Homo-oligomer: A and B are copies of this chain.
Amino acid sequence: MYQIGDLSLVEPAIAALDPDKVIIVTDSNVWPLLGPVYTQVPSLAEAPVAVVKAGEANKNLESLAAVLEVITGSGATRRSLVVNIGGGMVTDLGGFAAAVFKRGIRFINIPTSLLGAVDASIGGKTGVDFMGFKNEVGAFANPAVTLVRTENLLTLPRAELLSGYAEMLKTGFIASEALLKRFDPERDLSRPEGLGELIGCCLAFKEEVTTEDPTEQGRRRILNFGHTAGHAFESLMLKRGNPVPHGCAVAHGMLVALLLSHMLRSMSASYAQDYAREVLMPYYGALKLECKDYPELLALMSHDKKNLRAGEISFVLLDAPGAPLWQPVEPKLIEAALDIYRDLTGQ
């Protein structure tokens, strides 16, 4: 469940859950800026706060333990409530902490990034990174409610907007040609307030898919469009000490997936070409890759938790916008797609 609105959403949403205690989970970037805002909400004014160090590098078991220490130390019970205020890192981590504290208590997500709002905050995926793998350890657990404060989005830095926008575009590709056509990065990214309606469409689509298939046995896998290569790009850049935002990595992964969709399915080549020229290059730029990176990228892809069999690499491909499907892809073909990716991005 989600609600889109302003700060006034928060108090009634908490009160409706009647918790005996509220614990805030947030990070060191968000809290100095937004702490003064949220502590005006009566139910949050006296709440203990777990402030984790910002950044994906801190989405790990150590931060989980630190959050659990605050929750446990507060004397929380099974009727207590965790309120996650932050980007996807905070909602993934705080949601996982709530999912495992006393084997599961309730939580609310208040995403403060566009990516968090459209991707991490609903759908029930929580977790932390482990041994260099994204979200390797986690749980399926749904927030009691996700509160999207649209007024927040106006203040986001452009890199964050772009990261979230890529996940919205992903929704367009897998949902329908009609939704895809409503995207116009020139307009959407210069007037972020206009994103509100598109966000609503994306959340509605994601909620429909994840409610139908909460634990990713089937249809839900389509939400991973762009993510097989995207996660590998994200892990590679992180290892190189040059991290890229999740959504931006997915933006690049989508080009690889569009190329494979043309090679293996009925998707027209024009989608990949148009996407590379009109969206990826002008807004996201090229991700610098060399042939010698391929083995590592393939190894990262073969570790993707969505693979059904050890050693196999699966992709979400499209027969057309709105017609996604899921299939294993041969490493040779992935390498060919990476070659074309480099070509289309001028490398």
Contacts and interface: CB of A to CB of B under 8 A. Distances in A.
Contacts of A131: 68-69, 72-73
Interface string A42-73: 00000000000000000001001100110011
Contacts of A308: 77-79
Contacts of A75: 302-303, 310-311
A64 B100 CA distance: 13
Contacts of A302: 75
Interface string A294-308: 000000001101111
Contact of A72 (B77, B125, B130): B130
Contacts of A136: 68, 72, 101-102
A103 interface: yes
Interface stretch (A32-40, A137-145, A331-339): A137-145
A69 B130 CA distance: 8
A22 to B, nearest CB: 11
A62 to B, nearest CB: 9
A139 to B, nearest CB: 6
A103 B210 CA distance: 15
Interface in A122-156: 125-127, 130-131, 133, 135-140
Contacts of A126: 103
B140 A215 contact: no
B21 A310 contact: yes
A303 to B, nearest CB: 7
A310 B80 contact: yes
A108 interface: no
Contacts of A104: 139-140, 215
A335 to B, nearest CB: 20
A50 to B, nearest CB: 14
Given A61-B65, A73-B131, A131-B72, A100 B309 contact: no
Interface string A320-333: 00000000000000
B310 A103 contact: no
A319 to B, nearest CB: 25
A274 interface: no
Contacts of A133: 72
B137 A305 contact: no
A307 B126 CA distance: 25
Contacts of A20: 309-310
Most buried by B among A21, A127, A130, A135: A130
A305 B78 contact: yes
A142 to B, nearest CB: 13
A168 interface: no
User: What 10 A-B pairs come out closest when comparing CB atoms?
Assistant: A102-B305, A103-B138, A20-B310, A100-B137, A72-B131, A77-B310, A20-B309, A77-B307, A103-B140, A61-B65
